[in-house]
Structure 1
Amino acid sequence: MDILMVSAELSPYARGSEVGDVVAGLSKALRQLGHRVTLALPRHPGFEAGGLLMARRLTPLSLGGSDLTVLDGQLSSGVELALFDDPPLYDRPSVYGEREGYEDNLARFAVLCRGAAALAQQRAEQGKPFEVAHAFDAPAAALPALLKAQGGAALPTLLSVVDSERAGRFESGAHAAFPGLRGHIGDSLSLLELGLGAAQLVVAGSEDAARDLGSQRLSGTLAANLVGERAPTVVASGLDYAVFNPATDTALPARYDAEDASNKGRCKSAVLSELSLELELDRPLVFAAAGSGVEAQLLIAALPALLKNDIAVIVSVPSSAHAEVDRLTGDYPSDLVRLKDTGEAARRRALAAADFAICLDAGALTPASVQAAQRYGTVPIALGQGAAVDALVDCDADLSTGTGFVFDSAEASSLVGAATRAFSAYGSPGHARLRRRVMRLDVSWERVARRYAQLYRKAAG
């Protein structure tokens, strides 16, 4: 299919949240499946900083009285880029702005959506129409309404909602931002509601996001209509197997896979030596990562009780918690160390060495940390909230079912309880089967892309 994808962000060039990761991973996987993918985005400074080569189109897009310059580029995956160049709006240090966002975000998002609609119209006039348009989150959510308003054979549309907290509510200015929709909207609006009402299909990035979309708080009066055929379809995110692959990852001391994980022991030995932890291969090694300061405090509160078990722990926390963790390492010099290298390769190396991963990022929009642990045969221990819920099934007592260990409240005692269950299973035949089971899970972007391709065809009728 010929797919137009529209987003305010794209990792790694212009990342504002995990949405940029989703756009990057899905577009690449769709292209690898043979689809033609065009990504329409604002031209952020990060594209040039990342070394991306672009060519300015001779003919700009017309936005009803003003012109919008377009730069064409292509990613190494073959995904095509159409970048909308409006320096006063987009030449800024961040995608959305701090806290409440930039004051002119409505204008910034409107130019993105109007530019994408004009791009779709131009392609149709050239006899090379897109077959489906896929908008991501509130910044691009006005696109389905704009395409409908153009008249003619409307382009099928799909709206993905990954970040359900970013509703794009604006108290005024909608008429000026979207002159073509003046008769259909008020001067105050929620971009997300606008998209939910106009898109043919709605996809939620997690079960939590789907529940949010069914609430009046987020969807207003549309909430009652998002049922049956209009109910959001839940499609979780995936991992790039070109990066997250223990069988080929050059960052690892040794490679392994689900069918032969014996070299995981070599990874463990190497990392223990590198980090000056006791070289005891028979005791569990835990990689514990906290995504926020609050979650770091939860981990710090639990560590003394966790370390009563015969385990070694590698900790990765935000800089605000470094001093507290370092004080604890003084009390447990042979058992606890803080991972000072914050690069992705170092984290994958730690995952490959570890037997268990404590994943504390309940506020994350995707289950990437849990999926990465599973991919490297490191059984996850995670809070049963947020996106992690979609990636985990709590293990039963004999480990015959389940894909990790879940605790149900953000309290140290709850975390310790789940971890103790995990540690007690270590070394048993059931643990080896569990490790193999989680490694064999398909958490690839290819699986996700095939599901989206089905939804595209459904939207296209």
Structure 2
Amino acid sequence: MRRSVLSAAAVLSLSLSLLSLTPSNASTGVSSFSSSHRIPSLTRSALRLSKEGKGEDDKYGDPEAYVPQGGSKVTRNFMTCEDLRMSLRGGAGSDAIVPDQKLQIVFVSAEIAPWSVTGGLGAVCDGLPRALAKLGHRVMSIAPRYDQYYDAWDTEFTAEVPLGDTTTTVRFFHAFKKGVDRVFVDHPLFLEKVWGLSKQKLYGPKWGKDYEDNQLRFAMFCAAAMAATEKLSLGGYPYGQDVIFVANDWHAALVPMYLKKAQKEGTGWFKAKSACLLHNMVFQGRFPYDPNAASRLRLPQAMVDEMVTKQPLKVGRQKKASKGLKESVEIPNPPMDVLNFLTGAIKFSDAVLTVSPQYAKEVASSSAKGAELEKILTKTGIKGILNGVEDIVNPSNAELGLDIMYDGASLEKKAQGKTAMQKSLGFAVDENIPMFVFMGRLDAQKGVDIMFEAIDSALKGGMNAQFVTMGSGIEELEEVAAELEERYPNNFKAVLSFKGQEKYKTYAAADFAIMPSRYEPCGLVQMEGMRFGTLPIVCPTGGLLDTVSDMETGLVMEHEVDQDDITPADVEMLVKNFNRAISLYGNKDKYKQMQVNAMAAAKDYSWTRAAKQYVNTFLEIGAPTN
């Protein structure tokens, strides 16, 4: 396999000279608790790695990442001649449906699992394209090439694309997986910055710190994606211009704008349509306005003017970092003229979509949830389509590597998984002690700061329960996790790193899954937990409210938590719901019925269901078919 066509050194001076658009402190949007002050790394003696949590499969240690179907490198299956032919050319295999109206769908995304994933974005761009391909559509995803992917091969096709005030050469690599053409844009601005650290360094050297050339990199990426769509031959012919683009988050925001520019100028793409898919409104691609932005982005000034807003560079209140995120001192974050990439995508797309119906309502009606874009979203309209869960995620599937398998008719076997986990974590082995699990990033969005306060309060008061957190995050919260484990060794354990298998074993063992999120565009843990009969305890926000019914399939807390601070009322509400869960657990008949309800409801949360809704939406906006 070939390396990038330019060296990093050759590009560095070019990118720095071209990009006066972004100062070193510019942000593409970070959580309201990010900070420029970091505390020293803590000694994680109390925090643990799963005994199986090292090595090749670490990429699946993110609780919000999918373990891809058939994702093992060593799996070999027999193919029909048709499947072999299609695997070489790109396209759907022999088991695909033949639709009456066939679409060519192109996903443009900064992340595609399992090759690159930091959370929900990469996971969606893995599962949704595969589901659309199964419905018989021709589907391609395009992402940067951050590593020497073992299964993506050099197409030997190159394109000259804009890079600021000049041009640069990009190369394309290709893999065909599960009916989807996976295309990767090869350029040193991606590969030689990241070099395989595709869960950590996609957007900056660390969380909350962005690369100075992000605007330049992703503008170039959008142009490259359109070049690949139009001209890269896959199976004898390219996708061409008659496509529907799905532009994911701000990194792909210029695709709808370039499309509208070409259509208005009469230079092509006449039938093409675009939909921008918003995964998290916090990440908008805000950059200081530059008078030369139009020429550097290759857009008319009138279109650039539509992207200009008066906003702070970073989304939300910015606080000094402190243990447990309790610091109240704010860091100045004044409004200024900014170039907001996401605003451009929203205004110039043919459809604006997001990942759950409730989140669509929230971002169009709340300044906090819409991150100051709620008025624009109200004007353009936004539709929410609930994300799906992989079909293989269920406790009766041997592929997940579970020690104990069960279904809704054999829920008593779940106790065996719980016993095994209690032993492995050093907890008291007692089926009657309820086990609560939190799976996710340790950060403010997930409400982890509030949850830790509530756990401390509950255990200090003598609550007889076991709490497990699975996932890493910001140091300020990892430090609190370490202290809780030292303080309550018989009741609290924190696991920072683990394999995908361990995630499913934890679902199989736990009784309740805690999700006290400040906001949650969709959420995955609640749906996967329900598949395993693990009842979610959720805040009534976003996709959590779309998927969990109080006292039917889980527990829905009384109100949302404060968007910025830890309040006594929120801590008390969490403790109250821990107690409510314990009372429910003591009522075995009611608890079992809710488990059965949850497992049945979660079967409907599939990518096939979501894919059909996306197809209907694409057809409604006039996407070309053949």
Q: TM-score, normalised by structure 1?
A: 0.86
- Cα distance between partner residues in 1 of 2:505 and 2:162: 49
**Is residue 2:203 matched to residue 1:96?**
yes
Matched ranges for 1:211-222 at <5 A = 211-213=362-364, 218-219=372-373, 222=376
Alpha-carbon spacing, 1:140–1:341, altered in 2? closer, same or farther (3 Å): closer
The residue type paired with residue 282 of structure 1 is N
Check conservation: 1:291, 1:361, Cα contact below 8 A.
Answer: no
- Measured after TM superposition, the shift of residue 239 of structure 1 is 2.0
User: Structure 1 residue aligned with 2:396, among 226, 247, 254?
Assistant: 247
Structure 2 equivalent of residue 354 of structure 1: 510
**Cα deviations by residue, 1:193-216 (Å, 9 ceiling, x for unpaired):** 211121111102243355335559
Alpha-carbon spacing, 1:114–1:2, altered in 2? closer, same or farther (3 Å): same
Q: Secondary structure at the match of 1:436?
A: helix
- Which one is further off, 303-312 or 378-387? 303-312
- Which one is further off, 384-393 or 129-138? 384-393
The residue type paired with residue 403 of structure 1 is G
**Is residue 2:151 matched to residue 1:52?**
yes
- Measured after TM superposition, the shift of residue 158 of structure 1 is 0.9
Check conservation: 2:362, 2:542, Cα contact below 8 A.
Answer: no
CA RMSD of aligned residues (A): 3.0
User: Structure 1 residue aligned with 2:172, among 51, 71, 74?
Assistant: 71
Check conservation: 2:170, 2:224, Cα contact below 8 A.
Answer: no
Matched ranges for 1:112-127 at <5 A = 112-122=221-231
Check conservation: 1:382, 1:407, Cα contact below 8 A.
Answer: no
Q: Secondary structure at the match of 2:621?
A: helix
Check conservation: 1:371, 1:443, Cα contact below 8 A.
Answer: yes
User: Structure 2 residue aligned with 1:406, among 557, 561, 571?
Assistant: 557
Structure 1 equivalent of residue 30 of structure 2: none
- Measured after TM superposition, the shift of residue 437 of structure 1 is 0.9
- Cα distance between partner residues in 1 of 2:121 and 2:128: 11
**Cα deviations by residue, 1:385-427 (Å, 9 ceiling, x for unpaired):** 45433332322xxxxx453332533632111111211221223
The residue type paired with residue 170 of structure 2 is T
Aligned residues: 445
Q: Secondary structure at the match of 1:320?
A: helix
Q: Secondary structure at the match of 2:417?
A: helix
**Cα deviations by residue, 1:155-183 (Å, 9 ceiling, x for unpaired):** 01111111211222331242133224345
Alpha-carbon spacing, 1:263–1:33, altered in 2? closer, same or farther (3 Å): farther
Check conservation: 2:243, 2:272, Cα contact below 8 A.
Answer: yes
- Measured after TM superposition, the shift of residue 428 of structure 1 is 3.3
User: Structure 2 residue aligned with 1:81, among 182, 195, 208?
Assistant: 182
**Is residue 2:408 matched to residue 1:301?**
no
Structure 1 equivalent of residue 487 of structure 2: 328
Structure 1 equivalent of residue 271 of structure 2: 154
Check conservation: 1:393, 1:403, Cα contact below 8 A.
Answer: yes
- Cα distance between partner residues in 2 of 1:444 and 1:296: 28
Q: Secondary structure at the match of 2:594?
A: helix
Matched ranges for 1:444-459 at <5 A = 444-459=606-621
- Cα distance between partner residues in 2 of 1:69 and 1:280: 59
**Is residue 2:295 matched to residue 1:176?**
yes
**Is residue 2:135 matched to residue 1:33?**
yes
- Measured after TM superposition, the shift of residue 140 of structure 1 is 0.8
- Cα distance between partner residues in 1 of 2:507 and 2:107: 33
- Cα distance between partner residues in 2 of 1:127 and 1:25: 21
Q: TM-score, normalised by structure 2?
A: 0.65
- Cα distance between partner residues in 1 of 2:238 and 2:403: 53
- Measured after TM superposition, the shift of residue 265 of structure 1 is 2.1
- Cα distance between partner residues in 2 of 1:384 and 1:51: 42
- Measured after TM superposition, the shift of residue 42 of structure 1 is 2.0
- Measured after TM superposition, the shift of residue 459 of structure 1 is 2.1
Alpha-carbon spacing, 1:53–1:223, altered in 2? closer, same or farther (3 Å): closer
Check conservation: 1:380, 1:404, Cα contact below 8 A.
Answer: yes
- Cα distance between partner residues in 1 of 2:532 and 2:240: 43
Structure 1 equivalent of residue 584 of structure 2: 425
- Cα distance between partner residues in 2 of 1:155 and 1:77: 25
Alpha-carbon spacing, 1:302–1:443, altered in 2? closer, same or farther (3 Å): same
- Cα distance between partner residues in 2 of 1:428 and 1:123: 59
User: Structure 2 residue aligned with 1:344, among 492, 495, 500?
Assistant: 500
- Measured after TM superposition, the shift of residue 440 of structure 1 is 1.3
- Which one is further off, 368-377 or 56-65? 56-65
- Measured after TM superposition, the shift of residue 353 of structure 1 is 1.1
Structure 2 equivalent of residue 111 of structure 1: 220
- Cα distance between partner residues in 2 of 1:300 and 1:2: 47
- Measured after TM superposition, the shift of residue 351 of structure 1 is 1.6
The residue type paired with residue 96 of structure 1 is Y
- Measured after TM superposition, the shift of residue 275 of structure 1 is 2.7
- Cα distance between partner residues in 1 of 2:599 and 2:122: 26
- Which one is further off, 114-123 or 217-226? 217-226
Structure 1 equivalent of residue 244 of structure 2: 132
Alpha-carbon spacing, 1:253–1:101, altered in 2? closer, same or farther (3 Å): same
Alpha-carbon spacing, 1:338–1:67, altered in 2? closer, same or farther (3 Å): closer
Check conservation: 1:9, 1:41, Cα contact below 8 A.
Answer: yes
- Cα distance between partner residues in 2 of 1:304 and 1:192: 39
Alpha-carbon spacing, 1:415–1:142, altered in 2? closer, same or farther (3 Å): same
- Measured after TM superposition, the shift of residue 135 of structure 1 is 0.7
Alpha-carbon spacing, 1:156–1:58, altered in 2? closer, same or farther (3 Å): closer
- Cα distance between partner residues in 1 of 2:456 and 2:299: 61
- Cα distance between partner residues in 2 of 1:89 and 1:325: 39
The residue type paired with residue 123 of structure 2 is D
Task: Give structure 2 stretches of 5+ with no counterpart.
Answer: 1-102, 195-200, 309-338, 473-477
Structure 2 equivalent of residue 398 of structure 1: none
- Measured after TM superposition, the shift of residue 369 of structure 1 is 1.7
Check conservation: 2:285, 2:342, Cα contact below 8 A.
Answer: yes
- Cα distance between partner residues in 1 of 2:377 and 2:470: 40
- Measured after TM superposition, the shift of residue 222 of structure 1 is 3.4
**Is residue 2:594 matched to residue 1:434?**
yes
- Measured after TM superposition, the shift of residue 317 of structure 1 is 5.9
- Measured after TM superposition, the shift of residue 114 of structure 1 is 1.6
Alpha-carbon spacing, 1:123–1:291, altered in 2? closer, same or farther (3 Å): closer
Identity %: 22
The structure in which a higher percent of residues are helix is: 1
Q: Secondary structure at the match of 2:113?
A: coil
Alpha-carbon spacing, 1:273–1:391, altered in 2? closer, same or farther (3 Å): same
Alpha-carbon spacing, 1:379–1:247, altered in 2? closer, same or farther (3 Å): same
- Which one is further off, 434-443 or 173-182? 173-182
Structure of greater relative contact order (alpha carbons < 8 Å, 6+ residues apart): 2
Alpha-carbon spacing, 1:234–1:127, altered in 2? closer, same or farther (3 Å): closer
**Cα deviations by residue, 1:318-370 (Å, 9 ceiling, x for unpaired):** 4323421222334xx3x444446533322321221111122344455441121
- Which one is further off, 355-364 or 150-159? 355-364
**Is residue 2:281 matched to residue 1:164?**
yes
